[in-house]
Structure 1
C-alpha cells in the first residue's frame, strides 16, 4: 500500500507525547479577546500566553483602518508576482519605510519569514566549485534557516549556541571566499539574545558576511523597535537582516534588508520571490501604519520589560527559566508528557500556555514558552505565576 508509513508515524507521535493538532479560535466576544489578551476555544475564554503579538498591536483600530483604506485604494489581492504586475505603490512605500527604519539601502518583501529564510540561503548557496559558499549557523537557529541552508549547495557548519570562540575556529578552517555567519537575534524557543557585537566582529575578522533573523526582536528591541541588529555600529553592521510582520508588527509577511547588489541578485535568482504572488497591497499599507505606531509608542516596549520583571519576581526560585531580556520566557520542564500535563493544568485555570516539545526543541528540554505582551496586565501576570508555582512546586 502506498505511503503506509504515514499512519505508523502519526501513532508514534502520540506514543511519544509529541502529537500535534490545531485549535480553532472562535470570534472575539469582548474587549479583552479583541485586544488579544484572551482567546476563546470551545466556548471557554483563556488568558493567552502563547501569542507572538508582543506589542499588543493585533486588531489595533488604526492598523485596521489602514487595512480598509488599502483595500479601497489598491484592492485586497496583488494579483501577480512582484516581477509581473504584482508590485504596487503600497509595496514600494513599505519597503521605503523599512529601509529608513532599520537603516538599510534596500529591502524585499516576502510572503513569510520561512520563505524569506529559505530563499536567502538557497540563493546565496546555489553556486558550486570555487564559488561554493560556506554557511555557519548557530546551533539553535530557526528551522527555516536550517532548511534553507541544508537544501542549498553550500557547505554547512553549526556552532554551539552563542559560542563565538568555536565560530572563529570554524571560520579559520574554511578556505573559501564566500562565508556567511547566521544567527537569530532573539532565539525563538529560548528568548535569549545573540551577542551580535561579537558575531559581527568575528565575521569581519574572517571576511564573512553576517545574517540576522530578527523575527522575534523586531518591534521589541531598539529605541524605535528596529530589532536586535540596532546595537551594531555603522562600521560593523549585519550585512543582511530578515524580520517578519506576523509577530510584533501584527500583520503578515516578512522582509529581507540588504545592500543594492544583494537586492538585485535576489530579484533575479530567488525563486521564492520570483514565483510567489506578492503580499496583499492592503496588508502592506496596514504594515506601514503598524511600523509608525511601533516607532512612536515606546510605552509598549517598556511595559513588556516591566511585566517580565514582575513575572520572574513572582515565580518560585526553584522553577528553571532561561534568562531573557525579550518577551519570551522559556520554563524548562524536560519530559514531553510532563510538559503536556502542566499545560493542561493551566488550561483548567483559564490559562493558555502551549507545551513545546521535540523536534522543535532538543529531547529532554520540553518547555512552556511564556510570551508576555504589552496587552497583558498585572492581574494576568499574578495569576500566571501563581498557577505555575502550584503546578511546578509540589
Structure 2
C-alpha cells in the first residue's frame, strides 16, 4: 500500500491519546453557547474574545460590502484583486496602530510564513524566536535560509546573551529579528513587550510580534502590544477578537515595498474578500469605542480565578486565555469529557500543541459570558479536578 505510514501514524496518535477529529458545530443565537449534535453547551473554547461574532452592525457591513464589491476579490492583489475596501481597511489599521503601512493576508499562518520567508531569503539574516512562538512562526523561520536561534520562554537574559554572542559574528550585520507573541495562545501570558522593544533598539534589531491573541483585548482601544511599546512589525488575525476573517502585517514603508515585491505568499495568493474587509472596518470601529468589552473580560477573569480551589493549577494571565494545567493527556481528555456531560464545552489541549506532560484545559473568557456562566464553570472544574 502506498504511504502506509499514514495508518501507522494515526494509530500511534490514538495510542498516545493525541488523536484529533473534526467536530461540526452550529452557534446558538447567544454567543456564549454552542450546539453540537443537537445539544447545547456553554462554550469556553472560542476565540471570539470580545463577543463580536454575529454582531448586527458587522453583519450589515458585510452585506453592504457584498453589494458594493461582491463576495470575492477574483484575483491576487497585484493583478486586479486589490479593491478600495482593502485599501480603506489598511488605512484604518495604520491609523489604529500608528503604523505607516499595512498588508492584508488570508490568514495569520500565511502572514507569519510570508514574513519569515521573505526576510529569510538572505542567508545573513538572524532570527531569535521565543520557544513558545506559534507553529507558523517556527515553520517560517526554519524553512528560510536565515540562521535561527530560540530562547527560553520570556527569558530576556538568555535572549540578551544570544544577541551579544551574535555581535561577535562577522556575518550578522544588522539583519536581526526578535520574534515573539504578544499574548501566547496556549497559556495566555504576555510577552515582556517593553523589554523586548528596548533590547531590539539596543541591538539594532527589529521586533516582530504575533499579536493574534492580543489585538482587540489589550490596550485602551484594543491596539494590542502597540499600546505598550513601538513594535517594528505587527501581525494580527481578524478571526479572533475582530470576528471576521484574514490577517494583516503592519510595518514601515521599506518592508511593505519589499514584501509586495518579494513575498511569494502575498504575490501568488488571491486577495481576501473585499466584503469581509468592509465588515472588518466596522468591527475595528466597534473595538475602539466599546471599552466595556475589555473591562468585562477583566471582571469575569478575576471572578473565575477567585472561585477555583487551590487544587486547580491556573496559569496567571492578563488576557482572555486561562490555562489549567492537567499534565497527562488521558487525564486532560477525561476531565474535558466530564465537563461536556455537565454542559460545558472545554477542549483538552495536548502535545504536540503543548509540551509533553503539560496537557491542559484552555479556558477562554469572552465578553458575551456572564457571572452565572463563570460561577457554573468554576463549580464544574472544581468537581472534575478534585
Q: Fold conserved (TM > 0.5)?
A: yes
Partner residue of 1:135? 127
Q: CA RMSD in A?
A: 0.7
**Aligned partners of 2:129 and 2:180 also within 8 Å:** yes
Partner residue of 1:8? 8
Name whichever of 48-57 and 312-321 sits farther off: 312-321
Partner residue of 2:246? 253
Among residues 177, 198, 203, which one is paired with 1:180 in the alignment? 177
Aligned pair count?
381
Superposed, 1:42-191 pairs within 5 Å as 42-128=37-123, 132-174=124-166, 175=169, 176-177=172-173, 178-191=175-188
Partner residue of 2:267? 274
Please give the TM-score of this superposition, normalised by the length of structure 2.
0.98
CA drift at 1:205: 1.3
CA drift at 1:318: 1.9
Partner residue of 1:336? 329
Q: Secondary structure at the match of 1:332?
A: strand
**Aligned partners of 1:321 and 1:331 also within 8 Å:** yes
Partners of 2:15 and 2:31 in 1: CA distance: 33
Partners of 2:262 and 2:337 in 1: CA distance: 47
Partners of 1:258 and 1:163 in 2: CA distance: 25
Stretches of structure 1 lacking an aligned partner (at least 5 in a row): none
CA drift at 1:334: 0.1
Superposed, 1:242-391 pairs within 5 Å as 242-391=235-384
Q: Displaced runs of 4+ in structure 1, greater than 6 A?
A: none
Q: Secondary structure at the match of 2:81?
A: coil
Partner residue of 1:204? 201
Partners of 2:311 and 2:245 in 1: CA distance: 38
Among residues 225, 230, 242, which one is paired with 1:228 in the alignment? 225
CA drift at 1:34: 2.4
Q: Secondary structure at the match of 2:331?
A: helix
Please give the TM-score of this superposition, normalised by the length of structure 1.
0.96
Stretches of structure 2 lacking an aligned partner (at least 5 in a row): none
Q: Secondary structure at the match of 1:263?
A: helix
Q: Secondary structure at the match of 2:21?
A: coil
Q: Does 1:195 align with 2:192?
A: yes
Q: Which whole-Å deviations, capped at 9, do the CAs of 1:163-202 have from their partners, x for residues lacking one? A: 0110010011113021100000000001000111101111
Partners of 1:14 and 1:114 in 2: CA distance: 26
CA drift at 1:204: 1.4
